[in-house]
Amino acid sequence: MTVADKSKIYSIIGAVLFTLLGCYNIYFHIDYIHLLDLNFDDIIDDIIYIVLDCAVLVGFGAMLFLRNKKGVLVVSAVKAALILYMLFLFLDIYYGFYFVVYGGLVYLSVLFIQRNNIVKKIWFIPMAVLCVMDLWMFITYHSVSFVYLAEVAGVLFIGLWIREDAISLIDKKEPKVNNVNGVFSQHNTGGGSNPDLLIGGADRLKACKELLDSGVITQEEFEVKKKQILEKY
């Protein structure tokens, strides 16, 4: 199975999980309103939160089906904002953990869009934080629900999807280098001379710019290398 195939499977599984969560959330809120015999005036203060909360979960499902990273970024940001609202409202550590989870998804999406290689190493953090949060809930209340487990699985598959796409897309853009100082892994076909001398200043500067754009080196490291190249050539 290729990386692209695995990426597609992960996104589809995540889409199904979040779509189910969204449908369950809609059913839960309707059932809650009916059970307590609430009218519109009783829920007017919460209606915007309820609608957004349900829409966000369905939105995750839609963006994962479409495999749209920018869409996942926007939906994650809305979800993080809703959680932040609840955190300020109730000052509960539960919402603090929850905010880190979806804030983490925002950060992962931004890193991927920027083609930053570190996304392949930290993709699991939102899922790990959510697991810690659910474990704490289980220890505190001695119960775990389908909703918690499905959300953990959904966040896991978002992370896996981003990681697989990072492997297939970011690696293709990275120039082959041994280190950030620009010693290139090109083999000299003309003998044992230093391959560093076979690369012109313009080529070296272009390669360093690609390293900067892909996040392998920082802006400060790029400026230092640029100065060295200009002085040498």
* 107-125: pLDDT as tens digits: 999 999 988 889 999 999 9
Amino acid 188 reads N
- Tell me, what's the pLDDT at 28? 84
pLDDT, averaged across the chain: 81
Q: 177 forms bridges with which residues in the sheet?
A: 184
Segment 201-230 shows an average pLDDT of 77
Per-residue pLDDT reduced to its tens digit, 3-44? 788 999 999 999 999 999 999 988 887 877 777 666 656 566
Furthest C-alpha separation in the chain: 85
Q: Does the pLDDT value for residue 201 go beyond 80?
A: no
- Tell me, what's the pLDDT at 176? 44
Q: Does the pLDDT value for residue 172 go beyond 90?
A: no
Segment 164-169 shows an average pLDDT of 85
- Buried/exposed 66-105: b ≥16 CB within 10 Å, e otherwise: ebebebbbbbbbbbbebbbebbeeeeeeebebbbbbbbbb
Q: Does the pLDDT value for residue 174 go beyond 70?
A: no
Distance, CA of 158 to chain centre = 7
* pLDDT-based confidence at residue 186 (cuts at 50, 70, 90): very low
CA atoms within 13 A on the CB side of 165: 24
Instruction: Identify the weakest region by mean pLDDT among 35-39, 163-167, 178-182.
Output: 178-182
- Give, in order, the Cα–Cα distances in Å from 134 to each of 15, 18, 51, 128: 21, 17, 24, 10
Per-residue pLDDT reduced to its tens digit, 53-107? 889 999 999 999 999 999 999 999 999 999 998 899 888 888 999 999 999 999 9
> What residue ranges do the domains of the chain occupy?
3-173, 174-233
- Rounded distance, CA 148 to CA 132, Å? 12
Model pTM score: 0.69
- Tell me, what's the pLDDT at 40? 58
Amino acid 71 reads G
